[in-house]
Structures are given as C-alpha cells and as structure tokens.
Amino acid sequence: MILAFDWTQLAQQIVIGLASGGVWATLAVALVLIYRSTGVINFAQGEMAMFSTFIAWSLVNHGFSYWAAFVLTVAISFAGGVAVERAVIRPVERAPVLTVVIVTLGLFFVVNGAARWIWSPETRSLPNAFSTRPITVAGVAFSISDLGTIAVSLAAVALLWAFFRFTKLGLASRAAAVNPDASRLVGVRVTWMLALGWGLAAAMGAVSGMLTAPALASFDQNLMQPVLLYAFAGAVLGGIDSPLGAVVGSLLLGVLINLIGTYVNWVGTDLRLPVALAVILGVLLVRPAGLFGRPMETRV
Amino acid sequence: MRSRAPGIAVWLLVAAVVLLAYLFAPRFISDFHSRELAGAGVFFIAIVGLNLLTGYTGQISLGHGALMAVGGYTTAALAVHEHWRDVWTIPLAGVAAGIVGFLIGLPALRLSGLYLALATFAFAIAIPSLLKKFSGLTGGSQGLRLLEDAPLQVTGLSGTVTIFGHTMTQNHFLYYLTWGIGLLGFLIAWLLVRGRVGRTFRAVRDSEVAAASVGINLAWTKTLAFALSGVYAGVAGSLLAIQVEIVNPLSFTFLLSILILVGVVVGGLGSLGGMILGALFVQYLPDLSTHVSTAEGAPDFIFGAAIIVVMLLLPTGVGGFLRRLARPLTTRLYLRP
Amino acid sequence: MARVKYLILLVLGALALATVAAGAASETGVTSTQVTIGGTTPLSGPASAYQSVAKGAAAYFRYVNAKGGVNKRKINYIYKDDAYDPSKTVDATRELVSQDKVFAIFNSLGTDQNLATRAYLNALKVPQLFVASGATTFGNDYKKYPYTIGYQPNYRAEGTIYGRYVVKHAPKSRIGVLYQNDDYGKDLLAGLQRGLGAKAGLVKSKQSYNVDDPDVQSQIAKLKAAKVNTLMVFATPKFAIQAYVYARKLSWKPLVYMNAVSSAANIMGLSTAATNKKQTEGTISIVFLKDPTDPAWRNNSGMKLYRSIMKKYKGGNPNDVYAVYGMSVAHTFVAALQKAGKNPTRAGIVKAADSLNVTNDPFLLPGISVKTSATDHFPLDQAKLQRYHDGHWVAFGGLFRVR
C-alpha cells in the first residue's frame, strides 16, 4: 500500500501548493497592515495592487529597467496609498466600521474602472524578477521564482517587524493602533499613522502585484480578484493582526487547497475553494484568533 | 395619553399616503417602468431583511446575495421539477433561505466582526460553484428557464393577469406583487423592531456582554436575526426569479451581496425609513453609470465614485441623516452632532 | 365638375400613396430612413473586455451608413449593458423590444445570456439574429426556436475537428485535456470525444478549472503524472499561457492543441516569451478570422479596411480579434438586410438569415463563406487548421467543414 502510493505526486502537489500560497502571501501581509491601522479589511487592496502592476508595466514599456521600475512603482504606490487614506478614509474615520467597509468596496470599483479606462483590456506580461528555469529535485519540480516569491514575502515581514520594533516611527504607529487616545496625549500624530499604514500596505500590494503577474504568467485587469479571497482567507487563518501569520497562513492554505483538490475526488477542482474555506472556518471555531494571532480581550 | 395621539395620527397619515402611492403609481408611469420599480422592490425586501441583521443586531453579512440565490433557485426548481405555480413557491422559498440563514448564523455564535465577514464572504463566493455542481437540480451553468421548461407555471404568460376581476398587464402584476409583499415585509419588520424582539436585537448590537448579563440568550437572538433576514432575502430572490423568469449562477455573484449591503448602509443602518432610498439607489445607479459613459471601465468607476461620495457625505446613511435632522432643536444646540 | 373629379382623384391618389408608404413602414423598428436593431453586451463587470464585439459591429455600421446605408436606410444599432448577468439581459432585452421598439435583436453576447431571452423573443416573433455564442443549441434547435440563429463556428464542432485529426494522424496518442468548467470548455471536450469516436479511450486524463482559480499548476501536474503526450487546452488566454509555463516548469513538452479563443498571435507570443520557442513549437489550432496581431495580414486589403474603419469610426483597440468578429457579423447582417428587400419585415429577415450565401466577407479567411439553408443553421462552419512554427502560425491542409 505504502509503495503503491505516489509519494512523488504528493510531494509535487505540496510544493505547488507552497508556490501558489507564496503568491498570495504578500497581498495577505498588505491586508494585515490595513487591518492593524484602520481595523477594516480593505476590499480594494487587490485592485490597488493590480493598478500598481500596470504602472510597473508602463514604466518597463517606456524603457525603464526592471529594478528601476520596481523601486519607482513601490514609491508611487506608497504615495498613492497615503493619498487614498487622506482623501477617502480620513473623512469617515469616526464613522461606523461598516461605512468604511462600503467605502473600500466603492474604491474597488473606482480603481478597477480606472485601470480598465487607462489601459486596454488585452493580456500583458511582466518580466519575472527571478529565473524560471525548471529545477527538479527527487522527481519534484519547482523554479527559483517560487522560492524567490516566498523569500520576498518573508523578507518583507522581517523588514516590517524591524520597522515596528526598532524605529521611533514604528513605535508611534503601533501605539496609535493600540490606543489612539493615549497616543495623542503623548504627541503622536495619530491620523498620519493611519496614512502611514495605508502607504505601507499599498507598497506591499505593489510588491505583491509585481510578483503575482509573472508567477501567473500573464496579467490583465482581473489579475488580483481571485487572489484577494485567498489572501483574505490566508490572513485570517494566520491571525489577522500578524504579518508572519499572513505568510504562514497563505502557504498552508495553498497546500490545503491543492491536497484536497487532488485527493478528495468528489471535491475535484470545482469545490476545492469552498471546502478549503470550510476547513478554515473549522480552525477559526476552535481558535478564533487564528494560528498566530493574539486572542483579543474585550473590555467590559 | 394626549401626547401620543398626534404621533399616531402622523403615522396613520404616512401609511395612507404610502398605500395610495403604491396603489395608484402605475397610472402615472409607463408599463415598462412598473417593471423597473418591481426590480427595485426586490432589492427593497432584501435590504429590509439585511438591515434587521446588520443594522439592528450588529451582525455583518457579506453573503445575502447567496441567500437570494437559495430563494430564487427554490422557486425555479419547484416550478420546473415539481410543476408548482410560480407565485405559490414564494413562502417556501423564504423558508428555505431562512433555514440556510439559520445555518450560517450558527458559526456567528463563535465568530464576530471580521471572521463572520469572512465566513459570509466565503459563502457568497462559493454559491455559484455549488449551484453549478448540483446540476441535476439547478440546471448547472445554464441555470433554469421557466419560459422554456415550465411555461405553464408562469403567471402572466399571455401578457395579462386577472385577479379579483381586475385585468392588468404582467408588468403591473409584478409591480403589485413585489411591492405588496415589500410593504407587508416592511410592516412586519417595523412591528418587530418596535417590540421586544427589536430591543433584544439592539441590546446584542450595542453590547453583547451587557445583553448576556441581563439574561438575553445571545445564541437564540443571533440565529433568529440570521434566519429572519434569510427569509426576507429568500422571498426577494424568489420574486427576482418570477420577474426575469430565469435563474442562473451568474446572477448571484458576490456583486449582488455587495449591492444589498451598500443599499443597507446608504439607506441607513438601523433605520427602516431610509431603506426605500437605499433600494432605489442600488437599482438605478449601475444603469445610470452606463448612461454617463460607456467607455471601457467608466461605468464601474462612476458607480464606485458615487458610492464613495454618498458615504463621505452621509456616513450614517440617509436614514441617519434624516434622524439627525429630526432631532429637537435643543439637542442640536447643546450637544455635538 | 372636372375640377372636382380631378380633386377627388388627387386625394384618392394621395391616400393610396400614404397607405403604401405606411404599409412599407409598418414593421416595428423600420422607418423610411432607418432600421433600428439592438442587443446586449457586458459594458461593466469582469467580462467587459468582450464589449469589443459590439463596438466593432457598431463601427462597421457607421461605415455602412456613411456610404448611404442599406436600401436608403441607415442602421441604428443600440447596445445595452447586461454586466454578463442573464437576469439583466432579460430586463435590457425587454426594454429594447417594448421601449426602443427594435426591428430585431442582434449580436447579443453570451450563451446563458441569449438562452435567457430566447423563448420570450420567439414567442413575440422578434428575430434573435447572429447570437454571439459558440453553443450548438442556437443552430440545432431552429425547429423549436425559428427566430433564433447563431454565427460563429461552435465549440463542439471545433473539438470534433481536433478529435478527428488525432484519429487520422496520431492514433496512438495519449491525450490529456485541460478545460474550463463551463459550457465553453465542456462543449469543446464533448466535441473532442465525439471526434475521437471509438478511440475516446485515448483521453487518459481530464482536468477542469474554474475561472476564479488563481492558477492551474495542480491540474498540469496531474496531467503530466498521467503520462500524457498530447495536451488539449480548452482554456481562455490567461490559463492557456499558464498551461505552457507550468508544463515547462515540470520539464514537460507535450504536443498542444490550442482552442481558437486563445490562439491569437499576441497570446502565443506571450506564451513563447514566457517559456521558449521549443515549448510552443508544433501547437495546432483552427482559425476562421483574420488575426489582427498576425503580421501575415499586414498588407491584406480586408485588414486594411478593418483598421481604417476602426480608426475613423472609433471602434476601439484594433489589436482586438473580437472587434474583427464584430465587423464580420455586422457585414453579414447587412447582407441579410439587403436580401430582405426594400420593405424588410421580421419574418423576411429571418428568411434571409436562413438562406445566406456571403462569399465576400473581408474579415474572414479567404475561401470561407457564410452559408445557411433550411437544414443548415450554422452560418460559419468552416475553418482551417494551423500549426505554430518558429514563432508564427502557418495554415495547412484545406478548409474543414466544422460540423
């Protein structure tokens, strides 16, 4: 029985799951950043990442080198994220949470529509930062690009951790998220901390888009829509306030979906997503804060 | 005793005006526009239901489009497979969606806020795949078409409908049916909200801990709210299926869930009065967007921008805005709005 | 006395003329100066890229109108948004019929979308012409729905061609299929199985995917694990490109049959650039339209006309093959309208659409004609096979009848 089981296929599907999950990981980190600063899920995060991807493409198309375009796009996206927060989120800071959620839904359509209006809907491609040469180890195939994608998301998490832990700005940002009123009293510009959160998230989203487009081999305005749900699920699985959790959760989700789709025949490919989501909900029922999240205590 | 009399008189007057408007509106608008209003009525019913859950009980749901799908498919399946007359399926469609709503409410007992949002979001995304999977019942990706597969079950197939001796066009019938049920549903919701159930809902919304500490059964309340809003969504979905005479997975995507939620928030959370405006907003806005421009991407951009602008100007929705206006002058003078 | 008689004759004559004129303009949507037709297309939502079918057709009609129209009537083409949602298609189509009073529904896009309105339109005897969908039912079910007719070669027929080709030229292949989990993918698969006939057992593995799946790596891995050497890709461009990329990642190079929807030269170019020339070499597909991104047609008069119309009448992005399709179907409509005579009626244009013989469509491959008859309700049913060699398509063999 053990010999008849195709272990190589299992290993291959796990590796593929990690590769897929790695693609969502950076977007999941972006969602976590917004949640930590503003307390909502930004439904427009994927579309903003897609918009950044188009900016990168335009730069490359106009002759910029890949890395110059990369850095420039991250910078532009950061500024864009700050601008969005100032223009559209700040006015509803004190409004009920649902109002902010609806604003992000509106933003989803605005950004998507803008991207369709500015760039034609044809299929495009973005160069890959890493080599796509196939590598086979013990019958299991992958590429440097898969490793690179996961490495970038882990590096981003590490950079964020260092920023929040070791810099004054990071400390102020954390304080503003945890206790805005007390932070104001000690001179923290709380509203600018929110803007910073959105800027960082947008920058992270830009990185996500620029990794996702080559990983999925092509892109158009629909690039991030399926990815958003997976990133959301991965982030919640990992703990919505933990960037590391977002990465680990995404990787786990990728593997879970693949294994369920491969080995549970009734599910096949039609229902892998609903089933995977059901599993996540199961996890949440047992551990509501997610794998790495801090259980939230509510003051009575 | 004395101070209540004018209050009741005002409400009766409002009710009379609404009733007259309902009965006589089709005289003043074209036959086709009656049909469009019927479409707004579908949204109205779903929005009133979701408001009970989200506005009054504080439970977020991103999946009410999927509950509409349950209602719509129940109606279509009963008509096509069991040869029920389309209108007689409405109650059962509501019950079916109410049961599914109840089942979704069960995880709500342990999850709140964000996690509930994810759970309902996932349900909304999963529903088209589920509908396609069980194709024997649902017609798969092609859905069910009443005119082709169950023409005899369609009310008004000949173009006219006769009720109690009155003959009217099919469009007028759809209008009267939808808004009749809508007004009835509104009345029921209003009575619930004013009574003990409404107070229980609001208590859970404002503070679960406080509510539990005065003996409110959280589990029962939350699942009731989910089931109730599910019934409304199911009835709305059923009426939609009756209006367009088809059901298809493409009609019940996440976009529908978003539209219902937008309608509730624009109308005003926890305010039944604004719900009509919320319904009109989501019925007519997408169409108006294509009239402004049909350049690729422009309709979506305009639609999203309109939503944002409305939220920025009226963060508590139309209902919230009207309530602030109605507050006595002294309150506005001495307290920050 | 004579003057009174003269007056009476004049009045009677005028009345007679008026009656004739009124009779001539009595068909809904037809006046002495214009014919109004309408359809639905996704102008918003995730399928909005397909609106170029409607916009290409609209540009062509503007061109025809500028040259005087058809039988001195201009064509007024209205298209409304249905956001790819069949329930909105029903509403928009009813509006076109009862408010805009169109002569015919033309070029509505989508299988489910057109199915949603078919019974209603046929009951009201409103022509549902040249449906933009590859589903076979629109050509097969004409006895039940005589007012409905399709246009493009249908997907099932395309799959049949591939099946028959494999049986004839490579009967020992091990076939794997990657297909989209909807009518389009399933029709291609059903056609393949029909074309393979007795040899349907050559299909060793079938892997489906949903449009909202992020990638198809898992499916490609399973296909390779089934030791498949011939890969049928019944997928839209995004996933078609992925098929090549993920196959290469597994160091796997099967012979690929690429469905027509994803075979445009620019898509193949992206696939080649993302892998290498070897990976896409030898891919087989069918083609019936002139591909605007294929340099082979750069100096072709038909494509020159296409580009000039797109530019002058603002048809949108000229590299979009859907716009070429739109112009072709508009060209055919004009031919049908012409054939319907000086006083077109709804029944008349349906009859014309059922007896087409258009051989001069500048947007179709040379040699392809648009033909229908009492027993053939598939206007376009011819295609050529082509093979991808050294970075571009090379047609081979003759014209296939795709039935």
Residue by residue, DSSP assigns C118-180 as HHHHHHTT--EEEEB---THHHH-TTT-TTEEE-SPPHHHHHHHHHHHHHHH-TT--EEEEEE
CA distance B100 to B160: 35
State the pLDDT at residue C117. Answer: 96
C116 in contact with B, Cβ within 8 Å: yes
Q: Average pLDDT of A92-109?
A: 89
Residue of A nearest to C242 (CA): A217
Which amino acid does the sequence have at C340? Answer: A
pLDDT range class, residue C347, cuts 50, 70, 90: very high
The number of beta carbons lying within 10 Å of the beta carbon of residue C72 is: 10
Which CATH number does C156-287+385-401 carry? 3.40.50.2300
Q: Which helix (H) or strand (E) holds B106?
A: helix B90-108
What digits encode the pLDDT tens for the residues A207-265? 999 999 999 889 999 899 888 888 988 998 888 888 999 999 999 999 988 888 788 77
Task: With CB atoms and an 8 Å threshold, state whether B121 touches A120.
Answer: no
Residue C368 corresponds to which tokens in the numbers above? 């392809």
Task: With CB atoms and an 8 Å threshold, state whether C98 touches B290.
Answer: no
B295 in contact with A, Cβ within 8 Å: yes
CA distance A233 to A239: 10
How, if at all, do strands C230-234 and C255-258 pair? Answer: parallel
CA distances from A134 to A17, A25, A145, B95, C224 (A): 16, 22, 9, 55, 15
Which amino acid does the sequence have at B270? Answer: G
Task: With CB atoms and an 8 Å threshold, state whether A271 touches B265.
Answer: no
Those residues whose C-beta lies under 8 Å from the C-beta of residue A296, and which sit 6 or more positions away, are A289
Which amino acid does the sequence have at A65? Answer: S
**Residue A27: CA atoms inside 13 Å, Cβ hemisphere, count?**
36
Residue B282 corresponds to which tokens in the numbers above? 């989501």
pLDDT range class, residue B209, cuts 50, 70, 90: confident
CA dihedral B73, B77, B80, B85 (to 10 degrees): -80
Report chain B's terminal Cα–Cα distance, integer Å: 31
Taking the alpha carbons of C286, C288, C294, C298 in that order, is the dihedral positive or negative? positive
Residue B134 corresponds to which tokens in the numbers above? 């069980």
How, if at all, do strands C382-389 and C284-287 pair? Answer: antiparallel
**Angle at the Cα of B82 from the Cα atoms of B76 and B83, rounded to 5 degrees:** 80
C91 in contact with B, Cβ within 8 Å: yes
Task: With CB atoms and an 8 Å threshold, state whether C210 touches A269.
Answer: yes
What digits encode the pLDDT tens for the residues C184-228? 899 999 999 999 999 999 999 999 988 878 789 989 999 999 999
State the pLDDT at residue C214. Answer: 75
Q: Which residues in chain C touch residue A129, judged by CB atoms under 8 angstroms apart?
A: none
How, if at all, do strands C34-41 and C104-106 pair? Answer: parallel
C366 in contact with A, Cβ within 8 Å: no
**A3 has pLDDT over 70:** no
B145 in contact with C, Cβ within 8 Å: yes
Residue C165 corresponds to which tokens in the numbers above? 């080709």
Residue A45's nearest CA partner among A67, A60, A30 is: A30
How, if at all, do strands C255-258 and C203-209 pair? Answer: unpaired
Residue of A nearest to C251 (CA): A134
Residue of A nearest to C273 (CA): A125
Looking up tokens 């309208």, which residue turns up?
C337
C208 in contact with A, Cβ within 8 Å: yes
Measured between CA atoms, how close is A68 to chain B, in angstroms?
29
State the pLDDT at residue A169. Answer: 87
**B324 has pLDDT over 80:** no
Task: With CB atoms and an 8 Å threshold, state whether B122 touches A277.
Answer: yes
Q: Which residues in chain A touch residue B308, judged by CB atoms under 8 angstroms apart?
A: 88, 103, 106-107, 110
Q: Which residues in chain B touch residue A103, judged by CB atoms under 8 angstroms apart?
A: 307-308, 311-312
Pick the CATH number of C34-153+298-372 from 3.30.1490.100, 1.10.287.3510, 1.10.10.10, 3.40.50.2300: 3.40.50.2300
The number of beta carbons lying within 10 Å of the beta carbon of residue B19 is: 11
Residue of B nearest to A115 (CA): B297
Contact A265, A30 (CB under 8 A): no
What digits encode the pLDDT tens for the residues C279-338? 999 999 999 999 998 888 999 999 999 999 999 999 888 988 999 999 999 999 999 999
CA distance B138 to B158: 26
Q: How is residue B59 annotated by DSSP?
A: -
State the pLDDT at residue A165. Answer: 87
State the pLDDT at residue B317. Answer: 85
CA distance B322 to B308: 19
Q: Which helix (H) or strand (E) holds B291?
A: helix B275-292
CA distance A68 to A81: 20
CA distance C248 to C234: 18
Portions of chain C given CATH number 3.40.50.2300: 34-153+298-372, 156-287+385-401
CA distances from C209 to A54, A269, C47, C144, C263 (A): 26, 6, 18, 33, 19
Residue C370 corresponds to which tokens in the numbers above? 């648009």
Which amino acid does the sequence have at B116? Answer: L
Mutate to test the interface with A, among B294, B308, B309, B316 (most CBs of A within 10 A): B308
CA distance B157 to B160: 7
The number of beta carbons lying within 10 Å of the beta carbon of residue A72 is: 15
**Residue B83: CA atoms inside 13 Å, Cβ hemisphere, count?**
1
A121, A122, A141 member nearest C249 (Cβ): A141
Residue B271 corresponds to which tokens in the numbers above? 């305010």
Those residues whose C-beta lies under 8 Å from the C-beta of residue A293, and which sit 6 or more positions away, are A238, A239, A240, A241, A242, A245
Task: With CB atoms and an 8 Å threshold, state whether B287 touches C81.
Answer: yes
The number of beta carbons lying within 10 Å of the beta carbon of residue A94 is: 9
Taking the alpha carbons of A167, A168, A172, A173 in that order, is the dihedral positive or negative? negative
* Buried/exposed A37-60: b ≥16 CB within 10 Å, e otherwise: bbebbbbbbbbbbbbbbbbbbebb
B219 in contact with A, Cβ within 8 Å: no
C376 in contact with B, Cβ within 8 Å: no
State the pLDDT at residue B213. Answer: 87
**Residue C357 DSSP SS3:** strand
**A118 has pLDDT over 90:** yes
Q: Which residues in chain C touch residue A261, judged by CB atoms under 8 angstroms apart?
A: 218
Strand spans (E) along chain B: 144-145, 160-163, 166-169, 246-247
Residue B206 corresponds to which tokens in the numbers above? 């404002």
Residue of C nearest to B135 (CA): C182
CA distance A29 to A49: 12
Strand spans (E) along chain A: 134-137, 140-143
Q: For chains A and B, count residue pairs whose Cβ atoms are closer than 8 Å.
A: 144
Q: Which residues in chain A touch residue C213, judged by CB atoms under 8 angstroms apart?
A: 226, 269, 273
Those residues whose C-beta lies under 8 Å from the C-beta of residue C327, and which sit 6 or more positions away, are C56, C57, C59, C60, C306, C309, C315, C363
Chain A partners (3+ C-beta pairs within 8 A): B, C
Q: Which residues in chain A touch residue B306, judged by CB atoms under 8 angstroms apart?
A: 106
> Interhelix angle for B31-50 vs B64-81, to 10°?
120
Task: With CB atoms and an 8 Å threshold, state whether B148 touches C119.
Answer: yes
Which amino acid does the sequence have at A252? Answer: L
Task: With CB atoms and an 8 Å threshold, state whether A123 touches C274.
Answer: no
Radius of gyration of chain C (CA): 24
Domains within chain A, CATH numbers bracketed: 7-286 (1.10.3470)
Q: For chains B and C, count residue pairs whose Cβ atoms are closer than 8 Å.
A: 84
**Residue C246: CA atoms inside 13 Å, Cβ hemisphere, count?**
28
**Lowest-confidence pick of A199-208, A240-249, A282-291, B119-128:** A282-291
Mutate to test the interface with C, among B30, B148, B245, B300 (most CBs of C within 10 A): B148
CA distance C286 to C260: 6
Residue of C nearest to A273 (CA): C213
Task: With CB atoms and an 8 Å threshold, state whether C44 touches B303.
Answer: yes
Q: Which residues in chain C touch residue A134, judged by CB atoms under 8 angstroms apart?
A: 248-251
State the pLDDT at residue A138. Answer: 86
Residue B286 corresponds to which tokens in the numbers above? 């997408």
Task: With CB atoms and an 8 Å threshold, state whether A269 touches C266.
Answer: no
Taking the alpha carbons of C345, C349, C354, C360 in that order, is the dihedral positive or negative? positive
The number of beta carbons lying within 10 Å of the beta carbon of residue A159 is: 13
Contact C377, C355 (CB under 8 A): no
What digits encode the pLDDT tens for the residues B7-46? 778 878 888 888 888 888 888 888 889 999 999 999 999 9
Q: How is residue C354 annotated by DSSP?
A: T
Chain C partners (3+ C-beta pairs within 8 A): A, B
**A180 has pLDDT over 90:** no
Q: Average pLDDT of A60-85?
A: 95
Contact C260, C358 (CB under 8 A): no
Residue of higher predicted confidence among C214 and A153: A153
Conformation bin of residue C294: beta by default, left when phi > 0, alpha when psi is -120 to 50: beta
Task: With CB atoms and an 8 Å threshold, state whether C241 touches A222.
Answer: no
pLDDT range class, residue B257, cuts 50, 70, 90: very high
State the pLDDT at residue C23. Answer: 46
Chain B, 166 to 205: residues with Cβ < 8 Å from chain C are none
Residues of A with CB under 8 A from a CB of C: 6, 9, 12-13, 16-17, 19-20, 23-24, 116, 120-125, 132, 134, 136, 141-143, 215-218, 220, 222, 225-227, 229-230, 258, 261-262, 268-270, 273
Burial class (CB in 10 A: 0-12, 13-18, 19+), A163: middle
Looking up tokens 């096509």, which residue turns up?
B80
